[in-house]
Chain A
C-alpha cells in the first residue's frame, strides 16, 4: 500500500517536472494558427479589412472575431485558402477585388512634407523633410495609405505594368459554337 503511494507520488512528480520543463523549453510564442493565417494574407497592410494591418486581421480571424472574406487585395484566392485552412465555409468576397496597383509620386508637385513617409506601412517611400520623395516601386504593396495624407494630391495609383517576365498565359476560353440547324 505504502509502496504504491510512494511509486505514484514519484511518478507524478517526475511527469510534473517533465511537463514543466517542456512548457518552458518548447514554449510557443504565439498561436501558430495566427502565423498560418498571416502567411496566406497578401501583406499589403492596407487596412481594408478594418484592422490595422495583416497580422491584427490574422489574429482576429484566429480568435473567431472576423470573417475570412474581408481581404480585397487577396481576392478570392486568399478567401478560399483561408476557408481551406480553417475549415470554414467559403464566403463571397466583401469589397471589390481590384487590379494590382503601385503608387507613384509626381515629383514636380511634391513639397516634401513627409506625411506619406509616415503612412507607408512598408517603408517603400524615400525622402526627407523639404526634400523630394519617391516610391520604391518594387517594395510598394499598393495599399493606397499614402494617397489620402498627401496635402497636394501628388500621389496616384498606377496599375502594375505587365512584362514578359511576369506575363501569365490566359485561362483558355472554350468557344462554344452552336450547331447550325439545317432545314430538312
Chain B
C-alpha cells in the first residue's frame, strides 16, 4: 500500500548544493584541546553546573543538571579537567556570551561506565523518557526542544502517528543524509524505542527524494529489523518540507492548528538524528556527547561530514575538516536559509549545530539594492504557512505589533522563503524576527510592571497600616495620660506589675512543660 501524499502551500525549489559534502564518508573528528560546553543548548531553562573548577571529569559525566521540566543536562564529551565555568561566546545571533563549562582535555578520552538498557521493550515508557532526559537529548533537527518532553504526550493523549523527519530540506546540509546512509540501523533502533515510548499507533519515516541512497539504506535496515509496521516514504524535494508542520501536512494531510502543537492532532515528529541519539542512549547507555556536522561551502578544502564532540570550537572543527582553502565571506552555523552568522570562530559546536557553512564571496547570491515593496504578492505565494508576509512587513516595520499578531506573526517559521523571493530584496524575515522578539520583550516588561505595581501597592498598604497603628497607640496613650495624668508613677507601677505577671506565667508554663516530660 502506498501512502497518498499531500502538499503544503508555497515552498521553494532551491539549488541543493548537497553533492559537495555527501560524496565522502563521515569522519570522526579528534578530541580538541579545549571543550567549551554551554549549559544551555536547548529550549527551556538552562542547566545548572554541578562540577567545580579544577575537577577532573570523564567522558559522559554529567557536568550540568537539568533545572525544571523543560530542561536537559549537559555532559562532558571527553575526559579532562574543568578549567573554567564562565561566560563565553556561544552560537547565537546576538553574539552575546553565556555560561559555559570549559574543559581542558587530557587526550585519554576515559569514559564513565555506560549502562545500557537492553530490555527496553519491557520498560515503562516513563523510564525510557527519563533515560532520554538524563542523556541530554534534544531535537537535533535544529530547534533543540528537549526530546523527552515530546515523548511525553500526556496520559490522555493518544499519538496516532510518529513521523520521523529525514527530509533535511535545507541546502548544503547532508548530516542527516550521511547518518541515514551509514548508520541506518541506529536510526531504526531509535525509531523502535520511540514508538514504544509514545505507544504510537503508526510510524512513518519520511525522506526527501533527493536522497535515494539514504532511502535504500533505511529500507534495508527496516528489513533487517523485521518491523513491517514502520512505513518508509519518499517525499518530494521542496524547501521547507523538513519543517515540522509542513511535513505533517505532506504525510497526513492534516494541519496543525495555529499556535498549537502537533500532538493536538495526534502527531509527533522527531528527527532521524534524534532517533539515533535515543538508540545510543538506551541500547548503549551513551549520553548525547557528539553529533554529525556538515562542514561545507566554497571556501572549505574538502567538504564532508564529521562526527564532532559537543563543545568543539568551530575553529578546531574547520581545522579537523581539512581547513579552509580561501577566506570565506562569512561563517554560517546552519544552512543558508535559516542559519545564523557566526561572529567568532571560538564558539563551540552545540547539540543543535548541524552545519558549518563557509561560502566564498558571492556564493550565496548577491542581494541587490533594497527597494520599496511593490505588493506583488510573491512572498505570499512562497509562504509555506499561508501567511501574508507583505502585511506582516508593513505592520512590523511600523512597529504595530498588535496588527502583526492579528496577521499571525507567531505562526511564521522564519524559513526565509519570502525574503528569498522578494523582488525588492526586502529583509522580510529579519523584520519578523525583530517583531517577535519585541513582542516578547514587551510581555516581559508588562509582567515586570505588574509585579512592581503589586509590590508598590502592598508597600502603600503596609505604610498606611503602620500609620494607623501608630495613631491608635498615640490616642490610647493620650487617653491613658488624660486619665491618670496626676500619677505617672501609677502607669510605671502597672507596667512593672504586668511584666512580673508575664514572667510568672512563663515560669509556670515552663514548669508545666517539664512536668509533662
Contact = CB atoms under 8 A, between A and B. Distances in A.
**A joins B in a complex:** yes
Interface of A: 38, 41-45, 53-54, 77, 121-124, 139, 141, 162-164, 166-172, 174-177
Nearest to A38: B453
Report, nearest first, the 10 A-B pairs whose CB atoms are least far apart: A43-B452, A43-B449, A167-B94, A122-B455, A172-B430, A169-B433, A168-B437, A169-B434, A172-B427, A43-B453
Contacts of A54: 453, 456
B70 interface: no
B473 interface: no
Contacts of A175: 369-370
B449 A42 contact: yes
25 contacts: A42-B445, A42-B449, A43-B448, A43-B450, A45-B452, A53-B456, A54-B456, A121-B456, A121-B459, A122-B455, A124-B455, A139-B452, A163-B96, A164-B90, A164-B94, A166-B441, A167-B92, A167-B437, A168-B437, A169-B434, A169-B436, A170-B434, A172-B430, A175-B370, A177-B369
B120 interface: no
B452 A174 contact: no
Contacts of B326: none
A123 B455 contact: yes
A41 B453 CA distance: 10
B322 interface: no
Given A43-B448, A171-B434, 17 more contacts: A42-B445, A45-B456, A54-B453, A122-B452, A124-B455, A141-B452, A162-B96, A164-B40, A164-B96, A167-B94, A167-B437, A168-B440, A168-B441, A169-B433, A169-B437, A172-B430, A175-B370
A124 B459 CA distance: 11
A141 B455 CA distance: 11
Contacts of A168: 434, 437-438, 440-441
A124 B452 CA distance: 9
Contact of B459 (A41, A123, A177): A123
B467 interface: no
Nearest to A121: B456
Given A42-B445, A172-B434, A122 B96 contact: no
Say whether chain A's binding surface is mostly helix, strand, loop, or mixed.
loop
A139 B451 contact: yes
A152 B370 CA distance: 55
Contacts of B437: 167-169
B394 interface: no
Contact of A174 (B427, B441, B445, B456): B427
A174 B441 CA distance: 23
Contacts of A43: 448-450, 452-453, 456
Contacts of A177: 369
A166 B458 CA distance: 28
A153 B309 CA distance: 50
Contacts of A172: 427, 430-431, 434
Nearest to B38: A164
Contact of A167 (B96, B426, B451): B96
B325 interface: no
A145 B92 CA distance: 36
Q: By DSSP majority rule, is chain B's interface helix, strand, loop, or mixed?
A: helix
Contacts of A167: 92, 94, 96, 437
B424 to A, nearest CB: 10
Interface residues on B, range: 20 to 34
A14 B249 CA distance: 61
Contacts of B451: 139
Interface of B: 40, 90, 92-94, 96, 98, 369-370, 426-427, 430-431, 433-434, 436-438, 440-442, 444-445, 448-453, 455-456, 458-459
A169 B452 contact: no
A109 B93 CA distance: 39
A44 B94 contact: no
Contacts of A45: 452, 456
A162 B369 CA distance: 32
B368 to A, nearest CB: 10
Contacts of A164: 40, 90, 92, 94, 96, 98
A174 B370 contact: yes
A145 to B, nearest CB: 11
Nearest to B46: A165
A81 to B, nearest CB: 10
A42 B446 CA distance: 8
Contacts of A139: 451-452, 455
Nearest to B431: A172
Contacts of B93: 169
B433 to A, nearest CB: 4
Nearest to B433: A169
A41 B98 CA distance: 32
Nearest to B96: A164
Nearest to A174: B370
Contacts of B370: 174-176
B325 to A, nearest CB: 30
A141 B452 CA distance: 7
A114 to B, nearest CB: 14
Contacts of B441: 166, 168
A122 B445 CA distance: 16
Contacts of B458: 123
Contacts of B459: 121-123
Instruction: Select the residue from A54, A141, A175, A176 with max chain B CB neighbours within 10 A.
Output: A141
A79 to B, nearest CB: 13
A54 B457 CA distance: 11
B88 to A, nearest CB: 12
Contacts of B453: 38, 43, 54
Which of B433, B437, B438, B456: most chain A CB closer than 10 A? B456
A161 B326 CA distance: 37
Contacts of A42: 445, 449, 452
Contacts of B444: 166
A121 B92 CA distance: 37
A77 B401 CA distance: 11
Most buried by B among A53, A139, A163: A163
Contacts of B448: 43, 141
A163 B98 CA distance: 8
A115 to B, nearest CB: 15
